[in-house]
Copies of this chain bind each other. A is one copy, B any other.
Amino acid sequence: MKTTENQFKELLKEQDAYREALSLVQWDLRTKIPEHGATQRAEVIGLLSQKIHQLATSDQMKTLIDQLKGKTSDPILQRSVEDCEEEYNRSSKIPDEEYKAFITLRSKSESVWQKARAENDFSLLQPYLEELIAYNKKFAKYWGYETNKYDALLHLYEPGMTTKVLDEVFAQVRSGLTNLVKQIRESNVQPDENLLKHHFPKEDQKAFSLDILEKMGYDFDSGRLDESIHPFAIGINRNDVRVTTRYDEQDFRMAIFGTIHEGGHALYEQNIGKSLIQTPLASGTSMGIHESQSLFWENFIGRSESFWEKHFDLFKSYAPAAFQALDFSSFFEAINEVKPSYIRIEADELTYCLHIMIRYELEKALIDGDLAVKDLPEAWNQKMEDYLGIRPTSNQEGVLQDIHWSAGDFGYFPSYALGYMYAAQFHKRMAEDINIEQVIASGDFSSIKDWLTLHIHQHGKMKKPLEIIKEVTNESLNAQYLLDYLTEKYSKIYQL
Contacts and interface: CB of A to CB of B under 8 A. Distances in A.
Interface of A: 13-14, 16-18, 20-21, 24-25, 28, 32-37, 39-41, 43-44, 46-48, 219-224, 236-240, 242, 277-278
Given A32-B224, A34-B240, A239-B34, A21 B40 contact: no
B237 A34 contact: no
A44 B21 contact: yes
Given A20-B40, A24-B28, A43-B278, 12 more contacts: A13-B43, A17-B44, A24-B24, A24-B25, A33-B240, A34-B220, A34-B221, A34-B242, A37-B237, A37-B239, A40-B237, A40-B238
A1 B35 CA distance: 37
A266 to B, nearest CB: 11
Given A13-B43, A28-B28, A47-B14, A222 B36 contact: yes
Contact of A20 (B36, B44, B220, B224): B44
A17 B43 contact: yes
A236 B21 contact: no
Nearest to A40: B237
Contacts of A47: 14, 17-18, 21
Contacts of A25: 21, 24
Chain B CB within 10 A, most for which of A223, A240, A242, A277: A240
A377 B35 CA distance: 48
A289 to B, nearest CB: 24
Given A14-B47, A28-B28, A47-B17, A222 B41 contact: no
15 contacts: A16-B43, A17-B46, A18-B47, A20-B41, A20-B44, A21-B44, A34-B224, A35-B221, A35-B222, A37-B236, A37-B239, A37-B240, A40-B237, A40-B238, A40-B239
A221 B35 CA distance: 5
A278 B44 CA distance: 11
Chain B CB within 10 A, most for which of A25, A36, A224: A36
Nearest to A32: B224
Given A13-B43, A278-B40, A222 B34 contact: yes
A151 to B, nearest CB: 36
A28 B25 CA distance: 10
A39 B18 CA distance: 15
A447 B223 CA distance: 44
A63 to B, nearest CB: 21
B41 A237 contact: yes
Nearest to A39: B239
B36 A239 contact: yes
Contact of A277 (B13, B40, B237): B40
Contacts of A28: 24, 28
A46 B28 CA distance: 20
A-B residue pairs, 6 tightest by C-beta: A37-B240, A36-B239, A17-B47, A40-B237, A36-B222, A35-B221
A222 to B, nearest CB: 4
Contacts of A36: 219, 221-222, 239-240
A154 to B, nearest CB: 32
Contacts of A33: 240
A37 B43 CA distance: 25
A160 B313 CA distance: 68
Nearest to A19: B44
Nearest to A13: B43
A468 to B, nearest CB: 26
A431 B32 CA distance: 39
Contacts of A44: 17, 20-21, 24
A337 to B, nearest CB: 36
Given A40-B239, A239-B34, A240-B36, A21 B20 contact: no
